[in-house]
Structure 1
């Protein structure tokens, strides 16, 4: 209920009036049944604007740190994540990664939409980075279509480190659903998982027209953090 109140009564009307996002291809999102919505990730507000233009509820997988903060800021962050349909997951690897996969599969098993950022984190410089193969494994295990989505200019509205957004007009481009049923039963093959992921990232790059860099965004962020110390 909180999700729909925020979307249709509180945040939704305000954001669409102030920012006036432009949208292309929303008809490509399935009207019924489970599907993965896979997007590039430029800003934390990607998870705010994207649900506004979906008739169906969407659940995102988000790192658990967002739900464990203390004080007023922690409460606001937790409320925001809940309101935008985000589900806490542990990204520490190993058994935690398996649990995260199962969480996503449970959403798809209920016939719902699951939102995923294949890069695994926000881009540090508005370029597109190598995709993580977890999304491919979910697609093959669940046997669902995946809709590529490009967020446009959201990094200019609320870049990393900025508290208050700039009033600029973002864009959302929904691509045609991708069908990977030809790889059914091969979710244990790491070469197939990489192939599926790379095909998805290629479609995202075409939609977003970002420069593509074939390394993980987390690697770049770690290097930037070590230089700033």
Structure 2
């Protein structure tokens, strides 16, 4: 996925970071299109994304490459559910952190080393998405970072949202027509997610790529 936002600290310097994913009734496609988002520290907090990340990093699960390769049947084409500037996205199944209970279905995004994004953008996405926490935003579960015989491997593991994008349901005739009441619920959910990004974080985010293809239905 190729997606960026711009972060301003008190000195007004800017760094590229990646955008969050809008989820469920307000959820962005894992392989979504380009976007630009501006953010700035609130007047009450000079802290930036790296500082906020330090508080949240322990919530992310660190996966081995072999775990994610097994989860996707060696990144099988049959499990591919999207692609973008970042790389391909696969549906996978992982064990819970406690290794008890049923496996958890996830979306695994694998960095394409020949793609448009690189390690810095990957780090930015990990840091930013670890800070974002809202029921209408896709949750980042964990990541994998390995430099080995297979080369540089960078992967992100998200919660899986099963029902594809709002755009698919609106424009693909194989799906039933969405009732107006449901459409209003989707709009409300999206508005709640956007309000959180704009006003609910220490770092303000203005999402500027809001469209039906970036809204996934849970």
TM-score (norm. length: structure 2): 0.27
Between 1 and 2, higher relative CO (CA 8 Å, sep ≥ 6) is seen in 2
Larger % of strand: which?
2
TM-score (norm. length: structure 1): 0.26
